[in-house]
Amino acid sequence: MHSTEIEVNTGSSAVVHDLTKEAERFLAGTGSEDGLLHVWVPHATAGLAILETGAGSDDDLLTALDELLPRDSRWRHQHGSRGHGRDHVLPALVPPYATIPVLGGELALGTWQSVCLVDTNVDNPVRKVRFSFLKG
């Protein structure tokens, strides 16, 4: 299995960060053909999503998460900035992993699909992402 970890600077606001190019660069370096790309975020307050970016879906996701998980004082987990407890609930809804088929060395994503890091934690501006390729 080939595996590597990268760092992504997500800044100090909630973000959907497109990882597709980074995933493609990783695959190109493995000499991959067919198999599975597993993407993992080793954080308790971030997740991964497969969705369209650039046409508003990424902003829609963040809006939906804000409505579903408001950044207020209702959360029992209360260290960090106001409402930070909601960031710890996020991975139950947006999991910290994704697995994508790889065919002929290429991600088998749909036309508008991207692999995205979802980070709502404004207290942690740097995230790690692990790419692992399992040959088929």
Report how many domains make up the chain: 1
Give the 3-state secondary structure of 66-103: HHHCCCCCCCCCCCCCCCCHHHHHHHHHCCCEEEEEEE
- What average pLDDT values come out for the chain (136 residues) when binned by 10 residues? 97 96 96 95 97 94 96 87 91 98 97 97 95 96
What residue numbers bound the domain in which 62 lies? 2-135
CATH number at residue 105: 2.60.120.460
pLDDT at site 83: 83
Q: Which amino acid is at 17?
A: H
pLDDT at site 101: 98
pLDDT at site 12: 92
**Cα 118 to Cα 50, 68, 88, 106, distances in angstroms:** 10, 15, 13, 23
Question: Helices 85-93 and 57-68, interaxial angle, to 10°?
Answer: 120
pLDDT at site 1: 93
